[in-house]
Amino acid sequence: MDIWSWICNLPSSDEWPESDSPLVFQLATSSQDNPTESILLKAERTSGPNPEAMVTFSVCLQGFNPSNHQKTLWVSDPCSLSTDNPFLSLILQLLQETISRAPTSHDTTCPRSQLQKLKPEPVSWILDSHSPESFSSFFNLVFFCRLFWLCVCDAPTEVGFLYFHSLISPNLDTLICKHVLRTFLISVGVDAELGFMRTLGYMLVKWLILREVGVGLQSLVPLPFEKLGFSYATESHGFWVLKGYAPVVSMKRTCFNGQQDPYPILEAKESVLRYALAHQQLEAVIQLEYSVGFYNNFIQVSARVDNLRFHVAKLGFSKNDDGDYAEERHFPSRIRVWVGPEIGSTYVSGLSLGRSTDNIEREVEMQKIVKGSFGKSKFPQVNATSRASTKTRMRNWRWEQDAEGNAAVFEAVLCDNTSGIEVATWKPTSGGNPKSGFKKRYSGASRPFGKNGGLVFAGDDYGERVEWRLSKEMEGSVLKWRLGGKVWLSFWPNGVNSPYFETRCVDWCEEVDLPLIPGK
């Protein structure tokens, strides 16, 4: 389905047909043989000032009412056919309306009403710098995100089903146009990025829920769920930054509450809990600081963890969306970050880590009491008492460094500070009852997470920087360096009584530039 090519190949102002009938592109139909119900995109020529040739687009429904009349869902602003980029205004309108309706995290500091309009320059540059073929997938993604709000939220139920069945399912693997989407997110800024990615996450969550409960979507798109996440990496100003997004329900499940069926039949209360948990998205920022030193016989590359930020955003529109389950959410239980040269590189002569393996501190207290009776007593009495106690200092998070080949690995593991059990791998059969230590985990002075469920690690947690020594021959080149992360999210009931628990994980790996240029 190449909507963008159809739009680009619309007739020019001089070649537009004389009749008043609009040109029609059929987006989806209930049946190819008998297209009784359809979603249509129409292009209609209108007159502008001077008199300027304009084209207006509209999304229409046909056959969804007894009279079989068409119903218009959406109308674009007029696009001028006489400009260099006649459809730039269409793209900006689709993006702006998509982002402005995005579900927000309840604690957001940038509400939709305060989100500024997108500037046309970044979008224009993306349009000019990419071929129509590569830009087509990005336009489809933007258009389908806007259609999501129209067909699923502003139209009858059967329209939403046709949207998921005939538009999203067949095109899901082509929607994540990684290269163009990465360029777009970098260009528009982090506030617009969050709005767009939360819309995309919310759309994927609804598709996954429908596919899970069984409404005819199970046999479609054998795409691994874990590929529905998105990540990209950048290098600038001495930072390597990897950003990752993943709807929690799309993450691979590593352990859960013993059910053999991946979609077990649950009590009504448990179903509501899982429905609330499905509307969550992991948003991660992995930020490393690096530097390059040039010496007589070698080049030294250093890196350290500057910030690791993980937020489980609740994709909703009101604090009351989840009712009694508002405080139930997944939480990070293990984080693994790695950085190093590309596989097969021969220019690295050594890797030095910057943190020793922790040994838990133990304090031992000894107390001895001696009592005696002397003097005139015929039989002297001596009583001795000895007491010993051991104190172990345990923290919620254990930080480690390791190496895999020439890649440095930074790892953080969440442990129950009472039993010492690792949360990400805990199962009832492994013994212990760590749940008591994580009830009300978002409140209290000793909580292991932020008040809003987020988690931030700064560089002081991971020790000193790690260092690589490279051959002097690499000076003046720009190398590709690997930056990756793997995140485990666990769920244990926080404020409700439920036996349900699970752990899921997602991993990302991207390439970043390492410029070995003196003075850069």
Specify the 3-state DSSP secondary structure of 361.
coil
Specify the 3-state DSSP secondary structure of 45.
strand
Q: Which residues contact 200 (CB under 8 A, 6 or more apart)?
A: 141, 145, 230, 245
Q: Domains in the chain: how many in total?
A: 3
Contact, 217 vs 206, CB < 8 A?
no
Single out the residue in 156, 188, 223 at which a domain terminates.
Answer: 223
Q: 97 and 141 in one domain? A: yes
C-alpha to C-alpha distances, 216 to 162, 209, 219, 378, 459, nearest whole angstrom = 11, 12, 7, 97, 48
Q: 16 and 117 in one domain? A: yes
What mean pLDDT do residues 295-305 have? Answer: 93
Q: What is the rounded CA–CA span in Å between residue 403 and residue 381?
A: 63
Single out the residue in 169, 201, 223 at which a domain terminates.
Answer: 223
Q: 342 and 248 in one domain? A: yes
Q: 518 and 401 in one domain? A: yes
- pLDDT tens digits for range 168-204: 888 887 777 788 899 999 999 898 999 999 999 999 9
Q: 67 and 77 in one domain? A: yes
Q: What is the rounded CA–CA span in Å between residue 214 and residue 436?
A: 36
Q: 443 and 387 in one domain? A: no
For the chain, give the mean pLDDT.
81
Domain hosting residue 378, numbered range: 362-392
Q: What is the rounded CA–CA span in Å between residue 305 and residue 446?
A: 24
Higher pLDDT, 514 or 260: 514
Torsion of CA 178, 184, 186, 188, to 10 degrees: -150
CB atoms under 10 Å from CB of 395, counted, come to: 12
Residue 2 has pLDDT above 60, yes or no: yes
Higher pLDDT, 4 or 53: 4
pLDDT of residue 113: 52
Q: What is the rounded CA–CA span in Å between residue 36 and residue 28?
A: 11
Contact, 349 vs 341, CB < 8 A?
no
Tallying the residues shown for the chain, one arrives at 520
pLDDT of residue 260: 47
Q: 379 and 243 in one domain? A: no
| Residue 26 structure tokens | 């059929």
- pLDDT tens digits for range 338-381: 999 998 888 888 888 877 776 666 666 666 666 665 556 665 56
Contact, 483 vs 284, CB < 8 A?
no
| CA 110 distance to own-chain centroid | 18
Do the strands 230-236 and 239-247 form a parallel or antiparallel pair, or are they unpaired?
A: antiparallel
Q: 277 and 209 in one domain? A: no
Q: Helices then strands (H, E): number in the chain?
A: 9, 20
Partnered with residue 282 across adjacent β-strands are 246, 312
Contact, 60 vs 37, CB < 8 A?
no
395 closest CA partner among 412, 409, 378: 412
User: Which residue has tokens 């129950």?
Assistant: 416
Q: Which residues contact 153 (CB under 8 A, 6 or more apart)?
A: none
Q: What is the rounded CA–CA span in Å between residue 249 and residue 208?
A: 7
- pLDDT tens digits for range 498-512: 888 889 999 999 999
Share of the chain above pLDDT 90, in %: 36
Q: What is the rounded CA–CA span in Å between residue 308 and residue 92?
A: 32
Q: What is the rounded CA–CA span in Å between residue 489 and residue 283?
A: 12
Report the chain's terminal Cα–Cα distance, integer Å: 45
What mean pLDDT do residues 382-391 have? Answer: 63
Q: 376 and 347 in one domain? A: no
CB atoms under 10 Å from CB of 249, counted, come to: 23
* Confidence bin at 337 (pLDDT 50/70/90): very high
Burial class of 374 by CB neighbour count within 10 A (0 to 12, 13 to 18, 19+): exposed
Single out the residue in 170, 205, 223 at which a domain terminates.
Answer: 223
Higher pLDDT, 486 or 444: 486
pLDDT of residue 231: 93
Q: 286 and 381 in one domain? A: no
Element (H, E) at 53: strand 53-62
Q: What is the rounded CA–CA span in Å between residue 314 and residue 291?
A: 37
Question: For 413, phi and psi rounded to 5 degrees?
Answer: -125, 130
| Residue 152 structure tokens | 């699923």
pLDDT of residue 302: 94
Q: 257 and 209 in one domain? A: no
Specify the 3-state DSSP secondary structure of 509.
strand
Task: Please write down the HEC assignment for all residues of 297-355.
Answer: CEEEEEEEEEEEEEEEEECECCCCCCHHHCCCCCEEEEEEEEEEECCCCCCEEEEECCC
| Greatest mean pLDDT among 67-81, 361-375, 389-403, 477-491 | 477-491
In degrees, rounded to 5, the angle at the alpha carbon of residue 20 between the alpha carbons of residues 4 and 145 is 30
pLDDT of residue 131: 84
Burial class of 407 by CB neighbour count within 10 A (0 to 12, 13 to 18, 19+): buried
What mean pLDDT do residues 298-316 have? Answer: 92
pLDDT of residue 92: 95
- pLDDT tens digits for range 236-285: 889 999 999 999 999 998 887 755 444 455 555 677 888 888 899 999 99
CB atoms under 10 Å from CB of 194, counted, come to: 22
Q: 400 and 471 in one domain? A: yes
Higher pLDDT, 133 or 115: 133
Partnered with residue 300 across adjacent β-strands are 293, 469
Residue 70 has pLDDT above 70, yes or no: yes
Residue 435 has pLDDT above 70, yes or no: no
